[in-house]
A and B are shown apart, each in its own frame.
Chain A
């Protein structure tokens, strides 16, 4: 069985990714991830299932899943090329604006050196590209101990550094 990184470890991937929307009428297997276009036109039978996830392409608008996030067990975001960074914003919107709490997985051209940033914007599962060592990639999640910005995992450092509660700004008020 293929594997993916989840919860900081390599585990079996129990989901099947359906890249092509064609043939969606007879989604046979359990635990299948379908394209957004298929999801948006799917019949009630599919929508009612609790073992169907959705994957988004870089240009897909995550707002289209706003009504579904509570029911979806998994959403995947595709990175056809790792240098296309749109999925990072998509992930934060799903997590922070639309309140998605299920599994958010990164698929496509996913490699070791993207994992740390991906983990910060809300991804908790990573399907490392064929030909790249997933075990090796796992270590990169610890490349940095912390960071300055607000992310899906932390508030900005200045809210945690102990500085808040100190003095007002000298000379800043005219």
Chain B
């Protein structure tokens, strides 16, 4: 993974000193709350319901075991012994003390981490494919480009006060695991007919209040031009994005109002001025970044491990886990393993400091000392030998991280909701918990198969409910909490926004609503058809009828 040099380290250290002084001035009354707000937000610090919330950046989701141990330490020393992994591959702490945040940032800096631009109206943490470097369907390893763009976005002086937050996702694979169609900018690293690396550029996607699928504005951008082109997009947005209404300030609204074609032409005109200029990325710089992401020392294995295959055949529990939580690797004899943070009874994405410490040890023992955080709020070991899967499974079971539910109904993506977040209209965690408890029968879950269930506690859509096969949105009606249900949303290359099935439901009805949706699916599904495929084939009416027939 990328390691800081003295230049990178100095920037982060200077940031800690800067924020320490800003915090001192705020506490001394020299800065008003309004003046301090953007400064603390650009260091990931929110003021929440019960305490500040600190969001720490995990650039493109990649962590070393040493960094994970520090995250565990921070949870223990400054928080209540746990952290919450987010849908943007970051980690949040819900109980730090404002006065201690500079110390937390200093601790993070000691392991080449920070909380820079994890909030505020600026370019946020770059997100990417959680299988990067290991996936068999990868055309280009996106990580050198992730790092290039991380560096470009860090303290970019022109774009620190954008109209609104700005999210960039990058993938280098044919399967989109990074949700690039629902980001302000989505980049897909591709090769042209001559084998040169470039990017397919998508802008104006996003969820939130106005869910929109992004538009391709350039099919092939040579990689050397990536920073010039990003500068051009951001400059057009910074100058012309709406600032009169925060609900219309995201780039997706500008793209929509200008039309994608006109927006693309405006970006192109700006790019022509910058093209070939000093920010053109030299091959040498890409080579330097790529040298940080050389493949680990894989053993040369002939193919699938025979003993692993026979254990899968004999051990049903292990086989269930392999079926759901283990994914193919580009190297023969290796596998990608997902550690489920979706055990019933635990808020989705939460991990205790003790779990993090043990996971760090396991990463050292089984996966070359690294792991990634997925935007589905799970942890990934990307490089595990098949012959060691049984041993790893056994250790993960002891840790409570081997729930065989990846991609299933109970692998719920969920924001912290009204229990923690001051923006929320409704609680989200109790809904996730009630659904997980209702559907705890593994055979039923596996029979239902792949199903993305996403829950957001408000319009801001941190739980990405619009792209859930079943999406749940918390709404406020006259001071009480209700839940609106959408079906048919999809992420990935065929991303689609789910459709609302009708009036919202009370919290206690939600498990029944899900059960009825599943009943319709079971009654009507064709062989090998997923829930979302059945919704697409039949439309929402049969689902709507069943759900509302039963409640009235």
Contact = CB atoms under 8 A, between A and B. Distances in A.
B209 to A, nearest CB: 20
Nearest to B35: A111
A159 interface: yes
Interface string A146-165: 11111100011111010111
A22 to B, nearest CB: 25
A172 B279 contact: no
Interface stretch (B125-133, B151-159, B324-332): B151-159
B509 interface: no
B534 to A, nearest CB: 40
A70 B537 CA distance: 66
Contact of A161 (B7, B238, B277): B7
Most A Cβ at <10 Å: residue of B35, B157, B159, B162:
B157
B278 A150 contact: yes
A6 B10 CA distance: 26
Interface in A65-122: 82-86, 88-90, 92, 97, 111, 113, 116-118, 120-121
Given A149-B152, A150-B277, A170-B290, A84 B158 contact: no
From B154, B191, B284, residue with most partner A Cβ within 10 Å? B284
B157 A147 contact: yes
Nearest to A145: B10
Contact of B14 (A111, A120, A144): A144
B14 A145 contact: yes
Contacts of B285: 158, 163-164
B523 interface: no
A48 interface: no
A47 to B, nearest CB: 27
Interface residues of B, number: 46
A166 B155 contact: no
Contacts of B161: 82-85, 88
B155 A89 contact: no
A168 B196 CA distance: 13
B286 A169 contact: yes
B239 interface: yes
A151 B155 CA distance: 11
Contact of A167 (B156, B227, B281, B284): B284
B287 A170 contact: yes
B286 A86 contact: no
A143 interface: yes
A20 B229 CA distance: 38
B280 to A, nearest CB: 9
Contact of A85 (B7, B191, B238, B277): B238
Given A158-B281, A174-B195, A168 B158 contact: no
Contacts of A143: 14, 18
A117 B42 CA distance: 13
Contact of B282 (A90, A164, A172, A173): A164
B218 interface: no
A166 B278 contact: no
Contact of A149 (B22, B121, B157): B157
B490 to A, nearest CB: 31
B284 A84 contact: no
Given A147-B155, A158-B285, A88 B160 contact: yes
B238 A88 contact: yes
Interface in B6-54: 7, 10-11, 14-15, 18, 22, 35, 38-39
Given A150-B279, A158-B281, 12 more contacts: A88-B160, A116-B157, A120-B157, A146-B10, A147-B11, A149-B155, A149-B227, A156-B278, A166-B287, A169-B286, A172-B197, A174-B191
A-B pairs, 3 with minimum CB distance? A85-B161, A174-B195, A120-B157
